[in-house]
Amino acid sequence: MSEKSQTYLEEQLEAVVETDHQSLTILFQREKIKADAAAELELLKAMDSAIKRDVHLTEDELRLVLQIPSNYLTFSKLKKKDQRSRWIFSSQLLKLVKSHPYTRLHLIVCPENLVADESLSPHLLHYGVKESLPPYEANQEKLWMELKATVAAAVDGKHSFRDYLRLHETIELSPAAASVIKAKDENELSEVIRTNIEMLEKKDKEYVKVPQKKWKATRYSAWGLLIALLPFLAFSLYSLFFTQPKQAAFINSQEHFLKSQYSEVVSELSNYDIDQMPRVVQYELAQSYIINEALTEDQKENVQNTITLQTDPLYYHYWIHIGRGDAKEALDISRDLEDRDLILFALLKYREVVKADDSLESDEKQQKIDEIQAEIDEYIEEQKAQEEEEQRLQEEQSNSGDNEQAVKQESEQKAADEQKPADSKAAETSAEKPAEKQEEAAKTKPN
């Protein structure tokens, strides 16, 4: 297991620093401190009455325990404050460094050695004592860099304190951090801090502050209202982006259909599924595809005569799929309709689709084409046989009609022939009767 890396404070003090909830313990080895360090610690106790300092000296080490008041903020908690509060803390820290009065006590400015009270005033936990307790000597240049790095870490926090301290020339700095690091002296740094505080105060005036409780109630109410309106918003968005354009497309397609602009009808409805269209729109689209289909005029007329507003919608679907190149779907529909002519036409279209499909391997493509062709041949044979059967029946019906006519004519002739002798006999009888009357009259005539 790798050892825990030293903090900046531990590096500078050459000591072990232990942090607890509200305390800081510094362990110095006896050989690292001067003989009279214990006496010098009395001076440290007088530095900050709010921070209690306990000193424990043994033969091997000096243990310095600092008790931090519970209302004080550590640097990590301070960074959670709003931006204006962090700039105010930075301003107070600059004043603390500038006004430090004791030449025997040396400052070390870093996040581990800083806490802040409720007024955001900073407090240093440990001070070096000249020639007694690390840091033994004052280094103003290093202190100046520590101060700027601490301020940058407080107000920006994009990088760590050590990065601002040692890598500020290579890392990418925010405008605020860059202005802090570039400050050449305390006055310039003070001006940077003051400018940022004024800017934030001006910005705060643009907002209305409300109590947190009221803000939470308002926020929850807003969330509740938003949740309640979600269905309406979803419907509105759906209508805006889907329903309204779809209805507009349907209306435009009907106008094109009435103007016999059939290609425009097809183009207007190309992005919509069949099931999304009203029945009348399906009818108009099917008719448009039929008119644009490569059929003879007689074929188009025959098909159009079978497609009406009262026709089964599956016929609309069939011709729409044919027009859109979905021959497989059209074939399935024609099988459901059990219409041999439509099945055969769909098979012919499907064969062309398979031939043009580059995603199929050559063997697989040829196999499919052969299967389709076999079915086409089967339907053609059935159709041919059906036509021959219809022709045979028609011929039989025609022959039957001719036979009936001949029988009728023969019957009429026979009846005519039978009528002729009867008429002759009747004529003879009629001729004999006057002769008989004349003979009888002669007999009765007187001599």
Question: Domain with 166 in it: what CATH number?
Answer: 1.10.510.10
pLDDT, tens only, 259-280 = 999 999 999 999 999 999 999 9
Q: Residues 118, 71: contact at Cβ < 8 Å?
A: yes
d(CA 78, CA 118): 10
Residues 49 and 192 in one domain: yes
Domain carrying residue 270: 242-393
What is the domain count for the chain? 2
pLDDT at 321: 95
What is the pLDDT averaged over residues 147-157?
94
pLDDT-based confidence at residue 444 (cuts at 50, 70, 90):
very low
Burial 420-435 (b: 16+ CB within 10 A, else e): eeeeeeeeeeeeeeee
- Residue 308's region, left for phi above 0, alpha for psi from -120 to 50, else beta, is beta
Residues β-bridged to residue 25: 18, 65
Burial tier of 150 (Cβ tally within 10 Å: 0-12, 13-18, 19+): buried
pLDDT at 62: 86
pLDDT at 322: 94
Selected residue with higher pLDDT from 156 and 422: 156
Residues 253 and 384 in one domain: yes
Residue at which a domain ends, from 189, 206, 223: 206
Selected residue with higher pLDDT from 139 and 218: 139
pLDDT at 94: 96
Residue at which a domain ends, from 393, 411, 432: 393
pLDDT at 131: 81
Q: Per-residue pLDDT for 176 more than 70?
A: yes
Residues β-bridged to residue 74: 115
Helix (H), strand (E), coil (C) string for the chain: CCCCCCCHHHHHHCCEEEECCCEEEEEEEHHHCCCCHHHHHHHHHCCCCCCEEEEEECCCEEEEEEECCCCCEEHHHHCCCCHHHHHHHHHHHHHHHHCCCCCCEECCCCHHHEEECCCCCEEECCCEECCCECCCCCCHHHHHHHHHHHHHHHHCCCCCHHHHHHCCCCCCCCHHHHHHHCCCCHHHHHHHHHHHHHHHHHHHCCCCCCCHHHHHHHHHHHHHHHHHHHHHHHHHHHHHHHHHHHHHHHHHHHHHHHCCCHHHHHHHCCCCCHHHCCHHHHHHHHHHHHHHCCCCHHHHHHHHHHCCCCCCHHHHHHHHHHHCCCHHHHHHHHHHHCCHHHHHHHHHHHHHHHHCCCCCCHHHHHHHHHHHHHHHHHHHHHHHHHHHHHHHHHHHHHHHHHHHHHHHHHHHHHHHHHHHHHHHHHHHHHHHHHHHHHHHHHHHCCC
pLDDT, tens only, 212-238 = 787 788 888 888 877 887 776 676 665
pLDDT at 48: 72
pLDDT, tens only, 425-439 = 555 555 555 555 555
What is the pLDDT averaged over residues 42-54?
77
pLDDT at 166: 93
Range among 42-56, 108-122, 292-306 rated most confident: 108-122
Residues β-bridged to residue 54: 65
Quote the percentage of the chain above a pLDDT of 70.
Answer: 84
Q: Would you say residue 81 lies in a domain?
A: yes
pLDDT at 190: 96
Residues 258 and 117 in one domain: no
Q: Would you say residue 414 lies in a domain?
A: no
Q: Per-residue pLDDT for 56 more than 80?
A: yes
pLDDT, tens only, 400-417 = 666 666 666 777 777 766
pLDDT at 422: 56
pTM of the complete model: 0.51
Average pLDDT of the chain is: 85
Among the ranges given (146-155, 243-252, 337-346), the one the predictor scored with the smallest mean pLDDT: 243-252
pLDDT-based confidence at residue 382 (cuts at 50, 70, 90):
confident
Q: Per-residue pLDDT for 130 more than 80?
A: yes
pLDDT at 36: 63
Residues 178 and 260 in one domain: no
Q: Per-residue pLDDT for 1 more than 60?
A: no
Residues 306 and 356 in one domain: yes
Residues 161 and 42 in one domain: yes
Among the ranges given (203-212, 311-320, 363-372, 375-384), the one the predictor scored with the smallest mean pLDDT: 203-212
